């Protein structure tokens, strides 16, 4: 067991450089962000996704992407969260839970719709059981596209949000 930490001490870090933030994200106009410093607490609600987006969000925690090095952190309670990530085509069965989670978050707060389903319902749009994209339920500040978005795309989106948060523009 000892050889694992030892090897870790003697080798270079596995984490990769952060991806460049895209201009599109920088144009987001959101007020009051300077209050948050360079740290964002994130709460995820899977509002009916196929689990693909969750797998890639989980991957952000692996040593290669190492989300926490950027001050980004998934939190267990909405009471601790600044950002709500929504995945999936918001099912009718999840609509109330999604709304309540958002309501439980303290202001200021932002919503990011992750994946093509959260944008507009994706291939599930039009179903009797689906409300549609996250914007049908909450005001969305950021979209991260992909089916699912890969971890770099996720990081790119979240870092963009963080950058804007710290400059307060």
Partner 1 sequence: MSDIFDLISVPAPEFRTGPMARHKVSRAEWQLAIDELARGGLSLLSLWASRGAVHMALRRGETGEIGVISVDSRRKTFPSVGVQHPAAQRLERAMVDLFGLSASGAIDARPWLDHGVWGLRHPMGKTSEQAIEAMDYQFLPSEGESLHQAAVGPVHAGIIEPGHFRFTTQGEIVVRLEARLGYAHKGVDALMSGVDARASAHLAARVCGDSSVAYGWAYAQAVEAALGVEVPARAIWLRALMAELERLANHLGDIGAICNDAAFGMMLARTSLLRERVLRECDTCFGHRFMKDVIVPGGITRDLDGEALRRLRVLTGEIGEAFAPLVALYDATASLLDRTVGAGVLSPELAQNFAAGGFVGRASGRDFDARRDLAYAPYDQLEFSVPTRRDGDVNARIWIRIDEVAQSLSLIGQILDGLPQGAIAAELPSRGAAREGLGLIEGFRGDILVWVKFDGRGRIARCHLRDPSWFQWPLLEAVIKDNILADFPLCNKSFNCAYSGVDL
Q: Which residues make up the interface to partner 1 (CB under 8 A)?
A: 1, 3-4, 14, 44-59, 61-64, 74, 76-78, 88-89, 91-97, 101, 122-124, 126-130, 147-148, 150
In angstroms, give the least distance from the CB of 117 to partner 1.
8
Please report how close the Cβ of residue 80 comes to partner 1 at its closest, in angstroms. 11
CB of 29 to partner 1, least distance (A): 29
Distance of closest approach, residue 35 Cβ to partner 1, in angstroms: 25
Q: Between residues 35 and 92, which has the closer beta carbon with respect to partner 1?
A: 92
Write the burial class of residue 71 (CB in 10 Å: 0-12 exposed, 13-18 middle, 19+ buried): middle
Compare residues 57 and 164 and give the one whose CB is closer to partner 1: 57
Query: 47 or 111: whose CB is closer to partner 1?
Result: 47
Q: Which two tokens stand for residue 162?
A: 């963080």
At residue 143, φ and ψ (nearest 5 deg) are: -115, 135
Nearest residue (CB) to partner 1, 33 versus 130: 130
Q: How far is the CB of 14 from partner 1 (least distance, A)?
A: 7
Looking at the Cβ atoms of 67 and 159, the one nearer to partner 1 is 67
- 44's tokens: 């995820």
3-state SS string for 101-151: HHHHCCCCCEEEEECHHHHHCHHHCCCCCECCCHHHCCCCCEEECCCCCCH
DSSP state of 29: -
Count H helices and E strands in the chain, helices first: 6, 5
């Amino acid at each position: 067991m000892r050889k694992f930490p030892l090897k870790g001490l003697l080798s270079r870090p596995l984490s990769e450089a952060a991806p460049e933030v895209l201009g599109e994200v920088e144009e987001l106009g959101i007020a009051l962000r300077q209050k948050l410093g360079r740290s964002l607490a994130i709460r995820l609600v899977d509002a009916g996704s196929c689990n693909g987006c969750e797998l890639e969000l989980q991957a952000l925690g692996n040593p290669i992407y190492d989300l926490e090095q950027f001050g980004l952190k998934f939190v267990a309670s909405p009471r601790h969260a600044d950002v709500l990530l929504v995945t999936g085509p918001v099912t009718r069965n999840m609509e109330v839970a999604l709304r309540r989670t958002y309501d439980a978050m303290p202001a200021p707060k932002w919503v990011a719709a992750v994946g093509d389903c959260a944008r507009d319902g994706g291939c599930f749009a039009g179903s009797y059981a689906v409300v549609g994209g996250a914007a049908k339920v909450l005001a969305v500040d950021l979209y991260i596209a992909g089916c699912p978005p890969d971890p770099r795309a996720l990081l790119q989106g979240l870092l963009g949000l963080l950058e804007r948060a710290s400059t307060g523009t």
